[in-house]
Amino acid sequence: MKKVFKINVENKKPDRQIDSIKNEIRKYIKREKKKPLPEDKNFCSFNCKFGQTQEVSKTIDFTDITKSIDEARANEWDSFYMEILREPIFREPKQIEEIQEEDE
């Protein structure tokens, strides 16, 4: 998804528009996670960029998407650019260490 989202839209309050944008992004992410992964990959990662325009956009962490949108609203931007690209990766399984309790 590479898109410019408008915050100030005629006949809509900016707070409702922000909620609508967040919902659209959540739906996109959910849809992308449902897509099958290649055989040699086991995890779906996302590369994200955010900025006032595409030219000045900077790479952000996936977990900072909603925080960045809220910052755009707080800074009273008319619009912002969001880029979210799916990247299938191979991730090693987490090792769970067993904790042995000592009898006292």
Query: Contact at 8 Å (CB) between 71 and 80?
Result: no
Q: Whole-angstrom Cα distance, residue 22 to residue 45?
A: 19
Phi, psi for 84 (deg, rounded to 5): -130, 115
Q: Are strands 43-51 and 79-89 parallel, antiparallel or unpaired?
A: antiparallel
> For 13-35, what is the mean pLDDT?
97
Of 15-19, 75-79, 100-104, least confident by mean pLDDT is 100-104
Q: Whole-angstrom Cα distance, residue 2 to residue 90?
A: 24
Tokens linked to 104? 């006292």
Q: Residues 39-79: pLDDT tens digits?
A: 999 999 999 999 999 999 999 999 999 999 999 999 999 99
Is pTM beyond 0.75? Reply is yes
